A and B are shown apart, each in its own frame.
Chain A
């Protein structure tokens, strides 16, 4: 405990200092929301990794590894291949070019300009704002639980310490502070996971010994699909990998990189960084061998940390877990505030703001949204806890296809995009609610709302585009960087 305090004070102080040093770099809304499109490849890539993997992934991934064994490595592999490498290849280049040409700085802003559709902007901003706040509460809760378990700090203390530091550097330093702190946090998180994995493997006598002892511990802990079964394993890997393609806090990294040329180095760096996704699942499986008796699978990683690391190592690992949570929270916070100010206040309500006033509005909004998230996280109502399970599915069902089709299919109909958003989000929400209430037939309960929402949204956007009209030529020409015919 005594070691944990100085490590965390130094670490959190460093993050606050980064935010403070970058305060003067936010001169207008573009600086505050996307760093003035000036971020380099290393920072873009590693901040993507940090925003992707929250503390919930580390603790929850370990729990899955403990429960289901080595087959869960496929979830991490899906995160790397589909959630990172293919996401960068398929989305990165086009998003950087399109958003630059359209002059937009948020995902709802992209929908508005690409489709000439204010309803698409408003719906995406509303769903994103509401459900990202809910998602942020779950991230904050995960961080506070980590403080509680690893350090013995009261839950409310964990919420306040981590939340207030994030609020400070996000409101003061804007997007640049978010990505630079995320860069540092990614390094800490990667270092912490590598340290824990090596220490755990050493304690267990190597990977071959782990495999042998897992096979003895229970059938299905070594092979694939193992105890989880194909349906559970594949659908979960799919949700946490493809869902990323519609998450604004991740795709915003493609808006803000300095140029599309820098995506090349970024792609290689992000793929290498993302490989740490395997480690929570691997260490979770190792913990099944080393700490087989637990009250709850969520204790797997904390218990393993206490067993194989000394106090300094444990403090470093806690910093890594907190880093994962903080970077995700900050990334989400800046998205919500810039979306509410730009897409709802300025564009939606038609309020004109000077560049300095818009930066101030963004700072105020990020503080307000952050304080609301903190207050909810201190004592989350039951409804919020239920909604956290829906957030990822609803946001992805809203944004994924209108974004992907908007980048690749010129004909995509604006009306089809809006209906795809509305029906996809509604389907995900209704399915998850019905599943929770036990209103679905037994055989369907294993199907996640994400699959239903994203599936329906895909059908709607394709069918609606065949039946409907494309966006105005001017908007398509601007997005594709072509001069208008006759212009």
Chain B
């Protein structure tokens, strides 16, 4: 039995929603880092061209 007397097979639905929130935060953070890296690489290229 899980919390509130709910079987784990059902309580896992709440955990799936929690997983969605963690996934959203992680993807947003990863996208931000990726974009910063790409911008950095572009700046370096442009510096080299000069």
Contacts and interface: CB of A to CB of B under 8 A. Distances in A.
User: Is B truly associated with A?
Assistant: yes
A81 B17 contact: yes
B32 A222 contact: no
A268 B28 contact: yes
Contacts of A223: 7, 9-10
Interface in B1-50: 4-7, 9-10, 12-14, 16-17, 19-21, 23-25, 27-28, 31-32, 35
Contact of B32 (A93, A207, A264): A264
Contacts of B25: 268
Contacts of A397: none
A264 B7 contact: no
A207 B13 contact: no
A270 B21 CA distance: 10
A278 B14 contact: yes
A469 B9 CA distance: 46
Contacts of A267: 24, 27-28
A211 B24 contact: no
Chain A contact surface mostly: helix
A73 B4 contact: no
Contacts of B9: 71, 223-224
Given A211-B4, A212-B5, A264-B28, A73 B21 contact: no
Contacts of B14: 73, 77, 278
A222 B31 CA distance: 39
Contacts of A385: none
Contacts of B10: 70-71, 73-74, 222-224, 226
Contacts of B4: 206-208, 211
Contact of B13 (A76, A222, A261, A272): A76
Given A77-B16, A80-B16, A278-B17, A70 B6 contact: yes
A81 B19 contact: yes
Chain B contact surface mostly: helix
A170 B24 CA distance: 31
A211 B14 CA distance: 15
A223 B2 CA distance: 11
A95 to B, nearest CB: 15
A138 interface: no
Nearest to A278: B17
Given A77-B13, A261-B35, A264-B32, A271 B20 contact: yes
Contacts of A81: 16-17, 19-20, 23
A89 interface: yes
A256 interface: no
Contacts of A86: 23
Given A261-B35, A264-B28, A222 B20 contact: no
Contacts of A268: 21, 24-25, 28
A271 B31 CA distance: 16
A270 B27 CA distance: 13
Contacts of B27: 89, 267
Contacts of A278: 13-14, 17
B38 to A, nearest CB: 12
A98 B38 CA distance: 19
Nearest to A74: B13
A272 B13 CA distance: 15
Contacts of A93: 31
A256 B9 CA distance: 39
Nearest to A93: B31
B8 to A, nearest CB: 9
A208 B3 CA distance: 8
A71 B10 CA distance: 6
A180 B17 CA distance: 26
B7 to A, nearest CB: 5
Contact of A211 (B6, B23, B28, B31): B6
Contacts of A235: none
Interface-central residue, A70, A208, A278, by most chain B CB under 10 Å: A70
Contacts of B13: 73-74, 76-77, 224, 278
A75 to B, nearest CB: 9
B31 to A, nearest CB: 6
B5 A84 contact: no
Contacts of B35: 261
Given A81-B17, A222-B6, A224-B13, 5 more contacts: A74-B10, A78-B16, A264-B32, A267-B28, A268-B25
Interface of A: 70-71, 73-74, 76-78, 80-81, 84-86, 88-89, 93, 206-208, 211-212, 215, 222-224, 226, 261, 263-265, 267-268, 270-272, 274-275, 278
Q: Closest 5 A-B residue pairs measured CB to CB?
A: A73-B13, A224-B9, A271-B24, A77-B16, A264-B28
17 contacts: A73-B10, A73-B14, A74-B16, A77-B13, A80-B16, A81-B19, A81-B20, A211-B5, A222-B7, A223-B7, A264-B28, A264-B32, A267-B28, A268-B24, A268-B25, A275-B17, A278-B14
